[in-house]
Chains A and B, each alone.
Chain A
Amino acid sequence: MATILRRKKWGIIIVFLSPAAILYGVLKLYPYVRGLETSLYRWSGLTTTRTFIGLGNFSRLFNDREVFTYLGHNGFMFLAATVTMILGLIIAAILARSRVKGKNFFRVVFFFPNVMSVSLVAALWSLILSPNFGLLNAFLRSIGLDSLAMTWLGPVWALRSVGAIYVWAGFGWFMLLYIAGIQNIPRTLYEAAEIDGASSVYVFFRITVPLIWELVRTTFVFNVMGALNQFALVYVIFEQTPNPNTDMIANYFYWQAFTNYNFGYAASIVTFTFLITLVVTILTWRITKSQTVSY
C-alpha cells in the first residue's frame, strides 16, 4: 500500500471507524462472547439469577439423545448440500461451455430461488407438497401415477423433502460461482483437448474439475456451515412447531431457548455446534487438498 501524504489522519480515522466499531462491538462481538459464556451456567430466562455449573450443560448434552438425532438431520442436509454443489457444477459446466442457446436465460432463472427468502421458499413448497391440494400430487395423479403421490411432509418423507427443497433453492449460487471459475480457464486447454478428440465427459473430469478445484473446496466448506446452520426452512414448513422427524440442531436450540427458557442449556447446544463446525470445516479443508495444477 502506497504511503501518501495525509494531514492529521487520526481525526478522520476515529470518526470513520467508530460507528462500525461500536455497532459491531456491541451487537456482534459482545453477544458472541456472552453466548459462549452462557453455556457455563444453568439459567432460566425467566429469572435474572443464574448458577455457574461449569461443564454441567455439556454433560447433559452428551447424554441427550435428541441432540444426536437432530445432528443426524444436519448430516443429511450436508448430503443434500453436496448434491446441490454437484448439480451446480454440472449446470455450470454446461452453461459455460456448451453450445446451447439462451445461456443467460437459464442462468437468470436458476439463480432466482436463491434470492427468495427462506420463509417464502418454505411456504411455497409447503403448498406444493400438500398431499391433497398440492401441485406435485395433482400432477402425479393427472398422469396416472397415483401410487407415487405421497404425504411428502409426513414422517417418512419429510426429511428427504426438506433436502430436496434445499437443493432447489441452493444450486443457483454454486452454479454462478462455478461459471465464473470455469470462464477463467484458458480456452487453449479446451481447444487442445478437442483436437485430440476428447469427449465432453472426459474434458469435464480431466480439465474443468481439476482446474477449479480450489473454488470447489471453498464452496464445500460453505456447505458444512450451511448444513449446520439450518433452521428457518424446517421452522416455517412445519408451522413453527417441534417436529422430531426434521428438526435440526438449531431448531432444538430455539425450542430450548425460547419455549423452555433453558438459556444455559440452549447456549451450550450452540457452542457445541460451533465447535463441531470448526472441526468439520478444518477436516474437510484438509481432506480435499490436492496438488495445484499448473499450466
Chain B
Amino acid sequence: MRRFTVAPGLIVRELDGVKVVYDGRSGDTHFIAGAGAVLLGRLADGAMAEADIARHWSAGPDSAGAGPDSLAAELEEFLTGAVEAGILRAL
C-alpha cells in the first residue's frame, strides 16, 4: 500500500482555510482548498498510508452527499495531481 508525505522543502501557510504552498525548487505557488487542504494539514504530522488518507477524505468537508466511487476518484485525482506538482511524495 502506498504511503504519502508532504514533499520536503515546501513552505506551507494557511489563509482562510486554504493552504498556500510555495515550492522553492520550481518557484510555483499552489492554492489548495477543501479536503486537499485538510489532508495537507494532517500530512504535516508525518506520512500516512493511503487507506488512512481515504478514510479522512471520505469524512472531510467536501464529502457530504458524494458516493464512495466519486470520492475515491476525487482522492486519486488529488493525489496524482499533488505528486505531479511536487506537493506530495509517494513512498
Query: Is B truly associated with A?
Result: no
